[in-house]
């Protein structure tokens, strides 16, 4: 795991420039640093290394291929690089004289034999790569299939730049790119800036599964579109047409591929462990890790002193059962609150998934003991784990029977009931029922707010992925924008898939890379920890999408294949409980210990002077939230995270 950066174009001092750029992302790779500058001083690569495989100087980057045709700078891990080496040895009749054992060298040599596109297709792993072809004089940027590793690129002062994080790009001389109003609208829509947009005009995020070619004749007014070498949508369409007809065979295939993926991702020359929340996904990953390990696996959990949000005891019980070497750190509200001021710098763009806070805390704790940690991310998107997958159809079947006009009035009435009263009613009801619904009042408000405008199951599925329904009305300096300008254009439903499966596919294309994987990457890399995601192995993705929806979700319970496999290692009674996610009481804190901080960021005069927002809806929402009349946590957190980002990155505004 590393940080990469570079530029194409003449500057006064290329060495100083590339040193500043790579220095800005030294947290991504503190073990060593390197650079390469072309003979004519027009192209420069910078690299910060977090040494994982072959920690010797033999893995140093930037690196040349054995033929010297290609120069690469690379961030990530190629889990099947030993298989690629074996193939290369066979093709060369074992004539290759390998310098070391790093996957970087495997990648460089593969380019000599297979070229760029075929090499990318062969790679199973997470990566962002820059490749200079000395023969064709073309610079190629490439990103892994799902988007685990970030890669930004674009123009600064008519010079082409790229980097793992915007911190590097902003160190390029004369950076003054304006904040993108279109990106801001999309951010408010989703609480993250979706690919390919970036918060700055002229800069983009490379789409997962694509590569981008740049040459010296490229104009700053236009860049060619990235070219796909792999497509999740095509993979899903292909595999859904050949579904498993036997559930046991499907689960057997999944378990085999999971064990293979985890084994490949446990390869490391530095200490390795895993995040263990006590949920289905992380428990399954840890179970299979421990099954294939002689030594106890190091596992890590964050616990909260606020018992309403603390699930660390579940993780501890699972650890005891499996025999892992477990660490639980109890975090106070004060500890958690102290992270919030750091978020504006940790995330280069506005980012408003509040689970970013506990994710950082568990990564920080893990880094004290290991350099690599496996996580259970992506299990929800592949196997139907989110409540919106398991309950949406049933909810819609009930509410669609009510005429829209009357349904809208009922929703408005529900919104008039304070969250606290709805929660109190749920607590009273739960005394006579086994069904305890967590955060009941908040969920009622969220659903009711949507039902004032939703009139079909597809509309509901799409709307559940959004935050502000009409964000363009909130942003100054931009007229109402077309649907194609919103990420909802990516929410294209496939005709051969049902609405819930389409919802899962669209989440995997957008929400997974731009929210979940971004959150994990920035949090982990801020403390120089490599996070790996076994569920994103291509064979697991293919297997998951050969499973019909009724294999994944039954009786409003998702992830049935994962539960079935996990039951071989852990008693079902230890894991069958309501899903809560990585929750913290942000909404309560905004009314309590964070209220003064909120008032400062949402100061009316400041908002007016900044000139980004029509402030009336924001102030009204903040007042309603403070009073407890409504819970507007996701919307307010989005505004607050933009304001914090603006304060940290542009204090002059």
User: Is it the case that residue 308 has pLDDT exceeding 80?
Assistant: no
Based on the domain organization, do 77 and 145 belong to the same domain?
yes
CB contact set of 370 (below 8 Å; sequence gap of 6+):
270, 271, 272, 273, 298, 529
Q: Which of 320, 315, 324, 252 is CA-nearest to residue 293? A: 324
Model's pTM, two decimal places?
Answer: 0.93
Using CB atoms within 10 Å of the CB of residue 565, give its burial: 0 to 12 exposed, 13 to 18 middle, 19+ buried.
Answer: buried
- What 8-state DSSP symbol labels residue 92? T
- What 8-state DSSP symbol labels residue 557? B
Predicted confidence at residue 15, as pLDDT, reads: 97
Based on the domain organization, do 203 and 279 belong to the same domain?
no
User: Is it the case that residue 482 has pLDDT exceeding 70?
Assistant: no
| Separation between Cα atoms, residue 250 and residue 252, nearest integer Å | 5
Calculate mean pLDDT across residues 480-499.
73
Predicted confidence at residue 159, as pLDDT, reads: 94
Residue pair 564/406 in contact (Cβ under 8 Å)? The answer is no
Residue pair 559/385 in contact (Cβ under 8 Å)? The answer is yes
Based on the domain organization, do 557 and 618 belong to the same domain?
no
| Separation between Cα atoms, residue 136 and residue 561, nearest integer Å | 48
Predicted confidence at residue 143, as pLDDT, reads: 98
Helix or strand holding residue 306 (H, E): none
Predicted confidence at residue 580, as pLDDT, reads: 57
| Separation between Cα atoms, residue 400 and residue 235, nearest integer Å | 33
550: its two tokens: 């009724």
Supply the CATH number for residue 354's domain: 3.40.50.620
Residue 148 inside a domain? The answer is yes
Q: Is 89 helix (H, G, I), strand (E, B) or coil?
A: helix
The average confidence (pLDDT) of the chain is 91
Based on the domain organization, do 216 and 300 belong to the same domain?
no
Calculate mean pLDDT across residues 431-451.
71
Using CB atoms within 10 Å of the CB of residue 248, give its burial: 0 to 12 exposed, 13 to 18 middle, 19+ buried.
Answer: exposed
CB contact set of 44 (below 8 Å; sequence gap of 6+):
6, 7, 14, 15, 17, 18, 35, 36, 37, 38
Calculate mean pLDDT across residues 588-603.
93
Based on the domain organization, do 45 and 19 belong to the same domain?
yes
Based on the domain organization, do 215 and 334 belong to the same domain?
no
User: Is it the case that residue 224 has pLDDT exceeding 60?
Assistant: yes
Residue 629 inside a domain? The answer is yes
Domain hosting residue 322, numbered range: 249-384+508-537+552-574
User: Which percentage of the chain shows pLDDT scores above 90?
Assistant: 73
Q: Binning pLDDT at 50, 70 and 90, where does residue 480 land?
A: low
User: Is it the case that residue 1 has pLDDT exceeding 70?
Assistant: no
Strands 32-37 and 63-64: unpaired
pLDDT tens digit string along 257-298? 999 999 999 999 999 999 999 999 999 999 999 999 999 999
Positions annotated as catalytic residues are 2
User: Is it the case that residue 127 has pLDDT exceeding 70?
Assistant: yes
Supply the CATH number for residue 118's domain: 3.60.20.10
Residue 315 inside a domain? The answer is yes
Residue 291 inside a domain? The answer is yes
Predicted confidence at residue 431, as pLDDT, reads: 62
Cis peptide before 606 (omega within 30 of 0): no
Calculate mean pLDDT across residues 7-27.
97
pLDDT tens digit string along 602-642? 999 999 999 999 999 999 999 989 988 778 899 999 999 99
Based on the domain organization, do 187 and 219 belong to the same domain?
yes
Residue 242 inside a domain? The answer is no
Q: Which of 619, 616, 635, 617 is CA-nearest to residue 627? A: 619
Residue pair 540/383 in contact (Cβ under 8 Å)? The answer is no
Strands, E, within 355-429: which ranges? 372-374
Based on the domain organization, do 141 and 106 belong to the same domain?
yes
Based on the domain organization, do 274 and 375 belong to the same domain?
yes
User: Is it the case that residue 331 has pLDDT exceeding 90?
Assistant: no
Using CB atoms within 10 Å of the CB of residue 247, give its burial: 0 to 12 exposed, 13 to 18 middle, 19+ buried.
Answer: middle
Based on the domain organization, do 615 and 520 belong to the same domain?
no
Residue 298 inside a domain? The answer is yes
pLDDT tens digit string along 492-546? 899 999 999 999 999 999 999 999 999 999 999 999 999 999 999 999 999 999 9
pLDDT tens digit string along 421-435? 887 777 666 666 656
Q: Which of 645, 312, 375 is CA-nearest to residue 520? A: 375
Using CB atoms within 10 Å of the CB of residue 569, give its burial: 0 to 12 exposed, 13 to 18 middle, 19+ buried.
Answer: middle
Q: Where are the alpha helices (DSSP H) in 452-576?
A: 457-463, 499-509, 511, 518-525, 538-546, 549-552, 560-566
- Choosing from 196, 230, 264, the residue where a domain stops is 230
Based on the domain organization, do 195 and 109 belong to the same domain?
yes
- What 8-state DSSP symbol labels residue 613? B
Domain total of the chain:
3
For 136-203, the DSSP string reads: TTEEEEEE-SS--S--EEEEETTEEEEESSHHHHTTSTT--PPBPHHHHHHHHHHSB--TT--SBTTE
Long-range contacts of 220-223 (CB under 8 A, 24+ apart): 220/155, 220/158, 220/160, 223/154
Based on the domain organization, do 651 and 526 belong to the same domain?
no
Q: Which residue has the higher pLDDT, 573 or 3?
A: 3
The b-or-e profile of 324-335 (16+ CB within 10 A means b, else e) is bebbbbebebee
| Separation between Cα atoms, residue 443 and residue 558, nearest integer Å | 19
Calculate mean pLDDT across residues 203-231.
90
Q: Which of 594, 577, 575 is CA-nearest to residue 633? A: 594
Predicted confidence at residue 25, as pLDDT, reads: 98
CA distances from 37 to 20, 40, 65, 131 (A): 14, 8, 16, 13
CB atoms within 10 A of CB 455: 12
Residue 353 inside a domain? The answer is yes
Q: Which residue has the higher pLDDT, 601 or 458?
A: 601
Q: Which residue has the higher pLDDT, 653 or 560?
A: 560
466: its two tokens: 């959004």
Predicted confidence at residue 450, as pLDDT, reads: 78
Residue 221 inside a domain? The answer is yes
pLDDT tens digit string along 129-181? 999 999 999 999 999 999 999 999 999 999 999 999 999 999 999 999 999 99
Predicted confidence at residue 254, as pLDDT, reads: 98
Q: Binning pLDDT at 50, 70 and 90, where does residue 577 land?
A: low
| Separation between Cα atoms, residue 603 and residue 142, nearest integer Å | 42
- Choosing from 230, 258, 276, the residue where a domain stops is 230
CB atoms within 10 A of CB 430: 13
Phi first, then psi: give them for residue 371, nearest 5 degrees. -110, -15
């Amino acid at each position: 795991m590393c940080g990469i950066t570079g530029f194409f174009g003449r500057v006064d001092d290329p060495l100083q420039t590339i040193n500043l750029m790579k220095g800005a992302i030294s947290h991504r790779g503190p073990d060593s640093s390197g650079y390469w500058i072309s003979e004519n001083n027009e192209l420069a690569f910078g690299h910060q290394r977090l040494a994982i495989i072959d920690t010797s100087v033999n893995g140093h980057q930037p690196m040349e291929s054995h033929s010297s045709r290609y120069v690469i700078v690379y961030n990530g891990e190629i889990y099947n690089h030993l298989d690629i080496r074996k193939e290369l040895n066979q093709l060369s009749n074992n004539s290759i004289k390998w310098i070391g054992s790093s996957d970087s060298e495997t990648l460089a040599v593969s380019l000599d034999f297979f070229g760029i596109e075929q090499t990318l297709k062969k790679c199973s792993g997470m990566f962002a790569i820059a490749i200079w072809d000395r023969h064709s004089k073309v610079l190629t940027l490439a990103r892994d299939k799902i988007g685990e590793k970030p890669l930004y690129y674009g123009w600064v002062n008519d010079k082409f730049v790229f980097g793992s994080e915007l911190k590097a790009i902003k160190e390029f001389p004369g950076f003054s790119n304006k904040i993108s109003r279109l990106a801001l609208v999309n951010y408010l829509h989703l609480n993250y800036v979706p690919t390919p947009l970036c918060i700055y005009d002229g800069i983009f995020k490379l789409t997962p599964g694509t590569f981008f070619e740049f040459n010296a004749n490229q104009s700053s007014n236009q860049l060619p579109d990235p070219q796909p070498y792999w497509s999740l949508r095509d993979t899903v369409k292909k595999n859904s047409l050949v579904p498993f007809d036997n559930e046991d065979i499907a689960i057997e295939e999944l378990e085999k591929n999971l064990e293979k993926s985890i084994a490949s991702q446990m390869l490391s020359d530095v200490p390795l462990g895993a995040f263990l929340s006590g949920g289905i996904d992380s428990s399954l990953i840890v179970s299979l890790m421990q099954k294939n390990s002689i030594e106890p696996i190091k596992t890590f959990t964050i616990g909260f002193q606020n018992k309403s949000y603390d699930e660390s005891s579940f993780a501890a019980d699972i650890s005891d059962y499996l025999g892992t070497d477990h660490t639980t750190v109890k975090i106070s509200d004060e500890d958690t609150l102290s992270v919030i001021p750091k978020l504006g710098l940790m995330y280069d763009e506005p980012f408003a998934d509040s689970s970013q806070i506990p994710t950082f805390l568990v990564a920080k704790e893990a880094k004290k003991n290991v350099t690599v940690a496996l996580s259970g991310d992506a299990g929800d998107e592949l196997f139907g784990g989110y409540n919106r997958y398991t309950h949406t159809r049933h909810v819609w079947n009930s509410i669609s029977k009510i005429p829209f006009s009357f349904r809208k009035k009922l929703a408005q009435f529900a919104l008039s009931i304070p969250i606290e009263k709805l929660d109190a009613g749920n607590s009273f009801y739960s005394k006579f029922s086994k069904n305890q619904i967590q955060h009941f009042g908040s969920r009622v408000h969220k659903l009711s707010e949507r039902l004032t405008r939703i009139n079909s199951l597809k509309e509901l599925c799409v709307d559940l992925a959004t935050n502000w329904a009409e964000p363009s009305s909130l942003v100054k300096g931009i007229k109402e924008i077309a649907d194609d300008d919103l990420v909802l254009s990516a929410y294209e439903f496939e005709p051969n898939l049902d609405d819930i499966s389409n919802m899962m596919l669209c989440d995997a294309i957008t929400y997974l890379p731009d929210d979940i994987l971004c959150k994990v990457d920035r949090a982990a890399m801020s403390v120089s920890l490599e996070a790996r995601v076994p569920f994103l192995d291509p064979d697991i993705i293919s297997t998951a999408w050969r499973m019909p929806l009724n294999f994944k979700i039954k009786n409003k319970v998702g992830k049935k294949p994962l539960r079935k496999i996990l039951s071989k290692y852990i008693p079902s009674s230890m894991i069958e409980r309501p899903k809560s996610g990585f929750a913290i009481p942000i909404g309560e804190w905004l009314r309590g210990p964070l209220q003064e901080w909120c008032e400062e960021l949402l100061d009316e005069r400041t908002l007016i002077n900044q000139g980004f927002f029509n402030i009336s809806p924001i102030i009204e929402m903040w007042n309603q939230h403070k009073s407890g009349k409504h819970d507007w946590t996701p919307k307010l957190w989005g505004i607050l995270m933009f304001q914090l980002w603006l304060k940290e990155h542009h204090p002059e505004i």
